[in-house]
Structure 1
Amino acid sequence: MATTATPMGAEPVDTLSASGSFTGKVRHIKIASGYGTAIFYGDFVKLVAAGTVEKAAVTTSVVAGTVGIFVGCAYTDPNTNQKTFAQYFPASTAASDIVAYVVDDPKLLFRMQADEAIAQTGLGNNVSAVSTAGSTSIGRSRNALDGGSIATTNTLPLRIVDFVDGPTSAVGDAFTDCIVTYLPLSHAYETKLGV
């Protein structure tokens, strides 16, 4: 039973695409040198006008430019001059070769824990997320679904498509684990406007 709050951000698990199965492939997108916000495994990222990605807070409404989920990065560490592969991007890292690994499939399904119980009636409804600082010790996001935001509102960024049902999780648990996707037209690749 998911009776303990252990939010881990968005964890890619599958795809809605009828053309094939989930492969977990990533796209490499630059992060600007010196970008001042840490990005953790499981955080949402957005494209910005500079052609780079930044952390996106999918809190109350659709975030323009949301392009996917951050699952790691690589850069030359400015202190050691060594190539570094990491599960999170440390804020303000100064390097010219920072690249984020982003799962950018607009039909992606991902697992997220809610910050409260979500009943079966939440299935098919829209929801936002609670954006919280990640853990530098394990490099993971601590973002969670905002259980209090569930509605039919078409400006919310995410949609609940299933629940995680198994030995450690069930519908209606104190911190319900859900399978979520992007609300149609909330992903950068599905909108008519550019960044």
Structure 2
Amino acid sequence: MANKDSAFGCKPVRMMSGAPYSGGQSRYRIASGATTPIFQGDLVTQLTGGVIGRHAASGTVPIVGVFNGVQYTDPTSGEQVFKNYYPGSIAASDIIASVVDDPNVVFEIQGDAAMPVADLFGNFEIVDGSPVGDTSSGISNTEIAVSTGNTTATLPLKALDISQDPENDDVSSSNTNVLCVIQNHICGQKSAGLA
């Protein structure tokens, strides 16, 4: 059966220990006026000045975690804003992102192609959807780039398993959902991949 084509970035599903994901996340700052939008499910990286930004495909800067939402004071109305995504170009000094930053969280992400079981435990790049996110829902359109499976330790994701979601577990069909961990995390790289 064909997999459902509906990208959502990285979604936390459980811990490496097998325990359920408890919803834990940490606060990080986004620079006032930062122009790049960041969507829920996007990988974020450390930037100079004590702030974070969206991980660019093919980037090698270590990953802080997965963006889960933002809050800031609207510079025009003075009201507090809570959103699933950071729209970019907000001139505020209190832009706070919620980030799933535990290196032991297992995420689910959609593949941009069929994901062979033989490629599990490989390290992978991401690919941005077009557009990179949905401004209505605030959800990322990022997918795992299946063709990039490699042993390179600086790639952002390590594939662990195929999702058990019956709508996206067909390894012979495009858009297989994959369970993964952050490979190149600020708390240290995991081992080289096997792909």
TM-score, normalised relative to structure 2:
0.88
Count of paired positions: 186
Match runs of 1:113-124 below 5 Å? 113-124=110-121
1:49 aligns with 2:48: yes
- Which SS does the other structure have where 2:118 is aligned? helix
Offset, 1:24: 1.5
Question: Can you give the 5+ residue segments of structure 2 that lack an aligned partner in the other structure?
Answer: 190-195
Cα distance in 2 between the residues matched to 1:17 and 1:3: 28
- C-alpha spacing 1:167/1:17, structure 2 compared with 1 (3 Å): closer
Offset, 1:156: 2.3
Question: Can you give the 5+ residue segments of structure 1 that lack an aligned partner in the other structure?
Answer: none
**Percent of paired sites with the same residue:** 34
Match runs of 1:135-146 below 5 Å? 135-146=134-145
RMSD of the alignment, in Å?
Answer: 1.8
1:106 aligns with 2:112: no
- C-alpha spacing 1:75/1:125, structure 2 compared with 1 (3 Å): same
Match of 2:192 in 1: none
Match of 1:67 in 2: 64
Q: Which runs of 4+ in 1 moved over 4 A?
A: none
Offset, 1:64: 1.9
Which of 121, 127, 142 is matched with 2:124 structurally?
127
1:81 aligns with 2:78: yes
- C-alpha spacing 1:2/1:188, structure 2 compared with 1 (3 Å): farther
Query: Match of 2:21, as an amino acid?
Result: F
Match of 2:8 in 1: 8
Which of 87, 91, 96 is matched with 1:90 structurally?
87
Cα distance in 2 between the residues matched to 1:42 and 1:2: 24
